[in-house]
């Protein structure tokens, strides 16, 4: 199959940028996971649906709003009541989930092309993101694995904390280039490396 | 060192000079100096000219309360006006000019305004606005005549016209406890809160923490107060649950314990590192706020109280102890309270001579008397300063016996030579944020001041704000507030001992000394005591009206020094007490906020740009792009020398005669999934979707609840319970909201999920008589002939190795298809189709050609679905199912919505062979006169290559009945008048044989 093209292609400049006096405070990058899939569950069917998710992906989600779990190869988090985003390095996750999930439990929507995945990592990641989003990024309030739905003005974003100093952001593809500019600009103060 | 600068002491660094310029003169100061302290050290007393009368003004305060010494900073070609010299830290290369003077600060022609004093008293603008009732300058004409002179003469600093290159940012912060103010109380509160493990933000508007500890001269514990503050700050800075923000003014207290703060990140630096903002706007959401904002000293109002050299006593103390600078060499101290005696002693210790302490009270505390003895000079109890003399600086103070009880003077004035008059009318707690948070301030008779209201939100007061009059009290209140702000067991408080004196905290209730000459209450807006009395005589009794009429307290300093004296004078005029007169409600901002910080990161990009996957191809291939909402879309792919019309006519003709392709990725796309998805669509569309077979699409129409058309588009059935709805580009968000509302609120029992998949799919419309042949040549794994892919059919296949979904539908009226693929493949698909189309003469076409094709065909868009049209108006009544209810069905047959004389969609043909324009009106007469008789308006217009005529679509009253008649276009904005024929909106291939072929 044809390669998926990044919306950032002409503006993606690997290397160090911004104020590097103290080294790069964050590393920014685009991830290109094989699958980005939404699992939406009918009210009251969360437990059996999550059991299907566990079967298909091996991911077990803790209870609670916005909770999630992140591994290098696969990640999942709840971003709204009964709605989960699943991100896998492997392609075809939507088809596998759809085959396993009864329509009586919920629906599966493939968003692999429709969302662009960004990663920001480093000591200053919370600081840079706090410039853009009015949510609390402190580890206590936003634990590793958890996910949030939020927005930067017109740009809707789903954010998962995938490590103590690492966040993955999912943004509508058509906004990705604008958001990349915004993210890079916000990181100039701390210095950033694009990988 | 200058004679005004002490050899040691204070927060400044004397190791090397800092060079700066003021009004073109070069000066030096010390690192840590404010502009005010540095200029005072250089012996400068004249800082600016006043707002209305252009009177010479010096520096009056030492902090954010400064009303007079405002300057303009010149930096990077930008003018930043109205910066208090007291808040501006000097740095090498700082360039500053004074304000409101012409041609120079020392010689200012505007000072003639002083002669016109009575004419420009309170209400000057209101009186001038009215103007004479007759004559050439009647009414507002007089104002218009005067305005240009007034604008030049009045006002403060002048802003520039250059683009500000500085960077501004915003920051969102969350914390358990926000401590506002890092004086003794604030430091103590932050320590107590942080010890419990809570997350704490400590915000301080000055460059360093410590507040009054930096200039009280007291000892806290074993160390000088300033050192205690520095050590406490160091200890706090080491904690990872506490953030200290210096140079940060918390300026607004909003609902939900949300506070706004401005951090001046780069104002004190000669140059900022890459990416660092000049200012950072903080939105802080705090569970609890501790207000430790301290108190501000206020003056006593007396004639001549604005002469340079008249200064708040506490300010002089601050200059002496914090900056090692003498405000003058021979001081007269004028007070109604004990506190100023500390200032007098501090001046003496710093090397100044105290000529006299003038106190309106006859009795003072023993501690004050001891301080007076240390300060030296005459102690004049039961006296008042009644005037000052001097040109651009004070040379002497006039003093006269004064009776506090009656408020009258006796005897005759005597002159005391002095170069500064240090005045204190007591202290007013800085209640601004507490007042913003809600509630009425409470008058305290003892302190002659407003104390903060009972908290209307979760805040705790501490220190001077809460009425503390000693550092010891402030420290304890700070500790208590810090503990109360967090959960946890009470922690023992080990009070550091403070070497405070036993001063009497009660000022005498005297805030004005009567006399002849201008006595200023609001120094920045040039409001005098007489202005307030004039306002009272003219009938202003409400303090809110008084404020607006005189503009008292409405300048950039927000009346920090004038509020209570103004109220006292108003109360005296009304014969009431101050609490009966009441205080005005404080509003944000506490101190001026840069507009840049509010715009913050949006200054560079007002809106984000939404780009389709094929955007770069369009740009690289000569497309002229325009914005459609946030999207960017190709208008035309112009060739050299082509006009826009020539380009779109060429593109549209190529589609009609061969094949063209257009990027339709911007169409809104919503995945509608679930067991009741078909039922849901039946309810929201006017026509039926439950009968639609899988792999077929149908054109659908949605109404609003009120029966008007909301949107249209095709919906594709991809599976039994899986639909792909498309909406118009402009209405995607609106339709999504509408549908989500219906599912969440009206039919929550329906098992339907909606997901925006607009960005999941790239869409390309391929249109023209050769489109089928062209697709047949490049699509694999499926046939595309009429049998395999009938009108509104959907097939899945591949183009190159890209999976595609092809639906046969037409917006252009030609045989046409929409080819969808994953957005990440969009650019490759576009290029593959372009290459495959070359043998067929493939042309990329833009929105203008798309519009032309749909106008010829009579298809509607947002121009016709404008929120005022019904399905019938648009000839879409055939889509209104009578077999089922749907959103809008109950209201669509209302009398007003089925009247035959409603505006209805028609086609127009220009009969004079000239273009028509959207927005032009249709009228029945052709004489070019403008009457109120519009029949309707043109919604879209173009040159039709198919008809070789200028045509348009229009909404015309009773339009269906007018088809075949002549009318006229009336477009006075473009001076376009001429005859038109009203025709059917189907102006091309009305039978649809081409697209069904």
Strand partners, B976: B971
CATH (residue range B761-845):
3.30.1360.120
Q: A42 and A28 in one domain?
A: no
| B399: its two tokens | 């003093």
For residues B393-418, give the mean pLDDT: 96
Q: Do domains B668-756 and B761-845 have the same CATH topology?
A: no
Of A19, A107, A154, the CB nearest to B674: A107
Three-state SS for B124? helix
Mean pLDDT for chain B overall: 93
Q: Whole-angstrom Cα distance, residue B702 to residue B708?
A: 9
This prediction's pTM: 0.93
CB contact under 8 A, A109 and B753: yes
Query: For B114, which DSSP code?
Result: G
8 A C-beta contact, residue B82 and residue B555 = no
Q: A160 and A97 in one domain?
A: no
Candidates B610, B615, B676, B718: best to mutate against A (most CBs of A within 10 A) is B610
Q: Convert the pLDDT of each residue in A59-76 to its tens digit.
A: 998 877 789 999 999 999
Q: A121 and A70 in one domain?
A: no
Q: A145 and A159 in one domain?
A: yes
CATH code of the domain covering residue A41: 3.30.70.1520
Burial B588-625 (b: 16+ CB within 10 A, else e): bbbbbbbebbbebbebeeeebbbbbbbbbbbeeeebbb
Q: A87 and A27 in one domain?
A: no
Min distance B744 CA to chain A CA atoms (Å): 12
The CATH H-level superfamily of B168-295+430-484 is FAD/NAD(P)-binding domain (3.50.50.60)
Cis upstream peptide for B272 (omega within 30°): no
For residues B759-779, give the mean pLDDT: 98
Q: Whole-angstrom Cα distance, residue A64 to residue A142?
A: 13
The answer to whether the Cα torsion of B386, B392, B394, B396 is positive or negative is negative
Domain B668-756 belongs to what topology? Alpha-Beta Plaits (3.30.70)
Query: For B212, which DSSP code?
Result: G
Q: Is residue A51 a part of any domain in this protein?
A: yes
Q: Whole-angstrom Cα distance, residue B806 to residue B793?
A: 8
Q: Please count the other Cβ atoms lying within 10 Å of the Cβ belonging to residue B785.
A: 10
- Give residues with Cβ within 8 angstroms of B491, minimum separation 6: B192, B195, B196, B483
CATH 1.10.10 assigned to domain B512-591? The reply is yes
- What pLDDT does B392 receive? 86
B412 phi/psi in degrees, rounded to 5: -130, 155
% residues pLDDT > 70 (chain B) = 96
Cα separations (Å) of B339 from B181, B313, B419, B444, B506? 21, 9, 21, 18, 10
Q: Is residue A43 a part of any domain in this protein?
A: yes
Reply yes or no on whether the pLDDT at B1 is more than 60: no
Min distance B739 CA to chain A CA atoms (Å): 16
Q: List, in sequence order, the alpha helices (H) in B730-825.
A: 732-741, 771-778
Contacts of B283 in chain A (CB under 8 A): 134
Chain B's closest residue to A83, CA to CA, is B753
* DSSP letters for B817-857: EEEEEEGGGHHHHHHHHHHHHGGGT-EE--HHHHHHHHHHH
Q: A118 and A27 in one domain?
A: yes
For residues B440-469, give the mean pLDDT: 95
CB contact under 8 A, A19 and B275: yes
Closest CA to B88 of B175, B22, B4: B22
Reply yes or no on whether the pLDDT at B145 is more than 80: no
Q: Whole-angstrom Cα distance, residue A87 to residue B548?
A: 60
- What pLDDT does B927 receive? 84
Reply yes or no on whether the pLDDT at B599 is more than 80: yes
| B345: its two tokens | 């002693």
Q: Convert the pLDDT of each residue in B53-78 to its tens digit.
A: 889 999 999 999 999 999 999 998 89
| B347: its two tokens | 């001046």
CB contact under 8 A, A155 and B608: yes
Show the domain range for A168. Answer: 19-32+114-194
CB contact under 8 A, A153 and B760: no
- What pLDDT does B260 receive? 98
Contacts of B276 in chain A (CB under 8 A): 19, 189
Q: What totals of helices (H) and strands (E) does chain A contain, helices first? A: 4, 12
End of a domain among A82, A110, A138?
A110
End of a domain among A110, A131, A156?
A110
Q: Whole-angstrom Cα distance, residue B153 to residue B128?
A: 15
Min distance A127 CA to chain B CA atoms (Å): 8
Q: Convert the pLDDT of each residue in B910-954 to its tens digit.
A: 999 999 999 999 999 888 787 888 999 999 999 999 999 999 999
- What pLDDT does B873 receive? 97
Min distance A94 CA to chain B CA atoms (Å): 13
Q: A186 and A126 in one domain?
A: yes
CB contact under 8 A, A191 and B275: yes
Q: Convert the pLDDT of each residue in B342-375 to its tens digit.
A: 999 999 999 999 999 999 999 999 999 999 999 9
Of B611, B674, B803, the CB nearest to A7: B611
CATH code of the domain covering residue A141: 3.30.1360.120
Q: List, in sequence order, the alpha helices (H) in A42-165.
A: 46-57, 93-100, 125-132
End of a domain among A86, A110, A134?
A110
For residues B634-644, give the mean pLDDT: 97
Contacts of B802 in chain A (CB under 8 A): 1-2
For residues B425-437, give the mean pLDDT: 97
Cα separations (Å) of B465 from B290, B427, B479, B584? 10, 10, 14, 17
Q: Whole-angstrom Cα distance, residue B567 to residue B580?
A: 10
Q: A184 and A119 in one domain?
A: yes
Cα separations (Å) of B148 from B114, B153, B356, B605, B730? 19, 9, 47, 35, 45
Closest CA to A119 of A82, A163, A80: A163
Q: Is residue A100 a part of any domain in this protein?
A: yes
The domain segmentation of chain B, as residue ranges, is: 1-161, 168-295+430-484, 299-425, 512-591, 668-756, 761-845
Q: A124 and A85 in one domain?
A: no
Q: Convert the pLDDT of each residue in A11-53 to its tens digit.
A: 999 999 999 999 999 999 999 999 999 999 999 999 999 999 9
Q: Whole-angstrom Cα distance, residue B665 to residue B634?
A: 12
Reply yes or no on whether the pLDDT at B418 is more than 90: yes
Contacts of A173 in chain B (CB under 8 A): 613, 759-760, 823-824
Cα separations (Å) of B485 from B229, B460, B576, B719? 21, 8, 39, 58
Q: Whole-angstrom Cα distance, residue B826 to residue B809?
A: 19
Confidence of residue B155 (pLDDT cuts 50, 70, 90): low
CB contact under 8 A, A172 and B277: no
Chain B's closest residue to A190, CA to CA, is B275
Q: Please count the other Cβ atoms lying within 10 Å of the Cβ belonging to residue B893.
A: 12
CB contact under 8 A, A19 and B824: no
Q: A80 and A143 in one domain?
A: no
Q: Please count the other Cβ atoms lying within 10 Å of the Cβ belonging to residue A13.
A: 10
For residues B515-532, give the mean pLDDT: 94
Contacts of A7 in chain B (CB under 8 A): 611, 613
* ipTM exceeding cut-off 0.95 for this assembly: yes
Contacts of B631 in chain A (CB under 8 A): 174
Q: A188 and A118 in one domain?
A: yes
Q: Is residue A142 a part of any domain in this protein?
A: yes
Contacts of A134 in chain B (CB under 8 A): 172, 283
CATH architecture, domain B1-161: Roll (3.10)
Number of compact structural domains in chain A: 2
Contacts of A131 in chain B (CB under 8 A): 169-172, 601
- What pLDDT does B150 receive? 67
Q: Whole-angstrom Cα distance, residue B822 to residue B826?
A: 7
The CATH H-level superfamily of B299-425 is FAD/NAD(P)-binding domain (3.50.50.60)
Reply yes or no on whether the pLDDT at B300 is more than 80: yes
Q: Whole-angstrom Cα distance, residue B98 to residue B93?
A: 16
| B25: its two tokens | 């003169």
- What pLDDT does B542 receive? 87
Q: Whole-angstrom Cα distance, residue B57 to residue B47?
A: 6
Closest CA to B798 of B855, B843, B851, B836: B836
Q: Is residue A144 a part of any domain in this protein?
A: yes
Candidates A107, A137, A176: best to mutate against B (most CBs of B within 10 A) is A107
CB contact under 8 A, A113 and B172: no
CB contact under 8 A, B608 and A189: no
Min distance B602 CA to chain A CA atoms (Å): 9
Min distance B404 CA to chain A CA atoms (Å): 55
Q: List, in sequence order, the alpha helices (H) in B879-952.
A: 895-898
Reply yes or no on whether the pLDDT at B148 is more than 80: no
Q: A71 and A100 in one domain?
A: yes
Chain A's closest residue to B604, CA to CA, is A182
How many Cβ pairs closer than 8 A exist between chain A and B?
146
Candidates B631, B737, B824, B825: best to mutate against A (most CBs of A within 10 A) is B824
């Amino acid at each position: 199959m044809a390669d998926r093209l990044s919306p950032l292609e002409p503006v993606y400049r690997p290397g160090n940028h911004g104020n590097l006096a103290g080294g790069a405070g964050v590393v920014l990058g685009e991830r290109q996971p094989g699958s980005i899939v939404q699992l939406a569950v009918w009210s009251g069917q969360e437990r059996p649906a999550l059991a299907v998710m566990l079967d298909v992906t091996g991911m077990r989600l803790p209870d609670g709003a916005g909770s999630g779990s992140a591994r290098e190869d696969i990640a999942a988090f709840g971003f709204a009541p009964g709605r989960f985003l699943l991100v896998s390095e492997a392609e075809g996750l939507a088809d596998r989930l759809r085959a396993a999930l009864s329509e009586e439990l919920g629906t599966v929507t493939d968003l692999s092309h429709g969302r662009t995945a960004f990663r920001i990592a480093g000591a200053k990641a919370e600081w840079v993101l706090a410039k853009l989003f009015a949510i609390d990024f402190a580890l206590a309030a936003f634990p590793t694995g958890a996910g949030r739905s939020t927005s930067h003005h017109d740009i809707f974003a789903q954010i998962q904390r995938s490590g103590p100093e690492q966040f993955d952001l999912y943004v509508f593809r058509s906004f990705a280039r604008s958001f990349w500019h915004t993210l890079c600009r916000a990181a100039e103060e701390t210095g950033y490396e694009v990988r | 060192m200058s004679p005004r600068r002490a050899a040691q002491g204070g927060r400044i660094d004397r190791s090397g000079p800092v060079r700066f310029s003021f009004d073109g003169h070069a000066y030096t100061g010390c690192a840590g100096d404010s502009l005010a302290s540095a200029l005072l050290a250089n012996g400068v007393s004249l800082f600016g000219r006043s707002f209305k009368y252009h009177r010479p003004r010096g520096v009056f305060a030492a902090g954010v309360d400064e009303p007079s010494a405002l300057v303009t900073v010149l930096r990077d070609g930008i003018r930043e006006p109205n910066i208090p010299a007291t808040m501006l830290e000097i740095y090498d290369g700082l360039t500053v000019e004074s304000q409101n003077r012409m041609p120079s600060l020392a010689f200012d022609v505007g000072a003639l305004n002083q002669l016109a004093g009575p004419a420009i008293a309170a209400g000057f603008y209101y009186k001038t606005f009215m103007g004479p009732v007759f004559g050439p300058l009647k009414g507002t004409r007089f104002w218009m005549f005067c305005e240009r002179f007034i604008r030049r003469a009045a006002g403060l600093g002048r802003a520039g016209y250059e683009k500000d290159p500085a960077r501004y940012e915003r920051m969102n912060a969350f914390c358990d406890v926000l401590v506002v103010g890092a004086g003794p109380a604030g430091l103590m509160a932050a320590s107590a809160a942080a010890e419990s493990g809570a997350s704490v933000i400590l915000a301080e508007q000055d460059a360093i923490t410590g507040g009054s500890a930096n200039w009280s001269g007291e000892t806290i514990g074993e160390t000088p107060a300033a050192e205690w503050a520095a050590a406490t700050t160091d200890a706090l800075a080491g904690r990872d649950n506490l953030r200290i923000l210096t140079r940060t003014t918390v300026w607004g207290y909003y609902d939900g314990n949300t506070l706004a703060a401005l951090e001046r990140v780069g104002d004190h630096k000669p140059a900022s590192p890459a990416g660092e903002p000049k200012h950072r706007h903080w939105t802080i959401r705090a569970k609890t706020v501790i207000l430790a904002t301290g108190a501000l000293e206020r003056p006593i109002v007396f004639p001549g109280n604005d002469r340079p050299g008249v200064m708040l006593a506490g300010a002089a103390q601050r200059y002496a102890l914090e900056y090692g600078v003498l405000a003058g060499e021979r001081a007269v101290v004028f007070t109604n309270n004990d506190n100023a005696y500390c200032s007098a002693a501090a001046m003496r210790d710093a090397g100044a001579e105290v000529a006299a302490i003038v106190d309106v009270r006859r009795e003072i505390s023993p501690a004050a008397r001891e301080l007076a003895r240390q300060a030296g000079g005459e102690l004049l109890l039961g006296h008042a300063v009644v005037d000052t003399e001097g040109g651009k600086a004070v040379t002497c103070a006039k003093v006269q016996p004064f009776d506090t009880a009656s408020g009258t003077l006796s005897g005759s004035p005597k002159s005391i030579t002095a170069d500064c008059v240090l005045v204190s009318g007591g202290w007013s707690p800085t209640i601004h944020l507490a007042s913003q948070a809600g509630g009425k301030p409470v008058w305290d008779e003892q302190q002659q001041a407003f104390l903060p209201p009972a908290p209307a939100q979760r805040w705790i007061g501490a220190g001077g704000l809460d009425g503390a009059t000693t550092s010891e009290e402030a420290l304890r209140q700070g500790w208590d507030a810090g503990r109360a702000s967090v959960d946890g067991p009470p922690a023992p408080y080990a009070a550091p001992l403070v070497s405070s004196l036993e001063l009497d905290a009660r000022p005498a209730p005297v805030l004005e000394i009567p006399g002849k000459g201008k006595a200023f209450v609001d120094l920045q807006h040039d409001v005098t005591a007489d202005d307030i009395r004039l306002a009272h005589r003219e009938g202003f009794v409400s303090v809110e009206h008084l404020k607006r009429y005189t503009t008292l307290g409405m300048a950039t300093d927000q009346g920090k020094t004038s509020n209570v004296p103004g109220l006292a004078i108003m109360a005296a005029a009304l014969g009431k007490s101050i609490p009966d007169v009441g205080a005005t409600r404080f509003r944000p901002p506490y101190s001026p906020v840069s507009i840049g910080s509010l715009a913050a990161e949006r200054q560079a990009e007002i809106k984000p740009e939404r780009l389709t996957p094929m955007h770069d191809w369009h740009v690289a291939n000569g497309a002229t792009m325009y914005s459609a909402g946030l999207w960017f879309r190709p208008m035309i792919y112009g060739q050299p020398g082509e006009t826009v019309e020539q380009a779109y006519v060429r593109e549209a003709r190529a589609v009609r005669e061969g094949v063209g392709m257009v990027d339709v990725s911007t169409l809104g796309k919503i995945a509608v999934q679930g067991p009741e998805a078909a039922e849901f669509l039946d309810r929201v569309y006017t026509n039926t979707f439950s009968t639609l077979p899988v792999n077929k699409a149908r054109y659908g129409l949605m109404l609003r609840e009120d029966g008007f058309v909301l949107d249209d588009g095709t919906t594709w059935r991809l599976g039994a319970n899986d639909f792909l709805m498309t909406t118009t580009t402009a209405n995607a968000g609106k339709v999504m909201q509408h549908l989500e509302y219906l599912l969440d609120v009206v039919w929550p029992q329906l098992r339907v999920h909606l997901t925006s998949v607009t960005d999941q799919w790239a869409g390309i419309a391929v249109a023209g008589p050769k489109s089928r042949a062209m697709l047949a040549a490049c699509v694999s794994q499926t046939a595309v002939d009429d049998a395999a892919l009938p009108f509104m059919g959907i097939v899945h296949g591949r183009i190159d190795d890209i999976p595609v979904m092809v639906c046969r539908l037409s917006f252009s009226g030609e045989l046409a298809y929409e080819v969808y693929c994953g957005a990440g493949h969009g650019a490759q698909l576009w290029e593959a189709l372009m290459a495959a189309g070359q043998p067929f003469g493939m042309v990329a076409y833009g929105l203008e050609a798309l519009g032309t094709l749909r106008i010829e065909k009579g298809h509607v868009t947002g121009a016709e679905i404008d929120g005022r049209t019904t399905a019938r108006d648009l000839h879409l009544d055939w889509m209104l199912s009578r077999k089922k209810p749907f959103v809008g069905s109950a209201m669509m047959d209302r009398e007003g919505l089925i009247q035959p004389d409603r505006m209805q969609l028609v086609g127009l043909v220009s009969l004079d062979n000239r273009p028509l324009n959207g927005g032009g009106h249709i009228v029945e007469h052709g004489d070019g006169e403008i009457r109120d008789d519009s029949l309707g308006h043109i919604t879209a217009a173009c040159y039709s290559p198919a008809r070789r005529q200028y045509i348009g679509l229009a909404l015309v009253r009773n339009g269906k009945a007018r088809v075949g008649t002549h009318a006229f276009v009336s477009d006075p904005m473009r001076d376009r008048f001429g005859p038109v024929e009203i025709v059917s909106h189907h102006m091309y291939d009305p039978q649809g044989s081409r697209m069904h072929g």
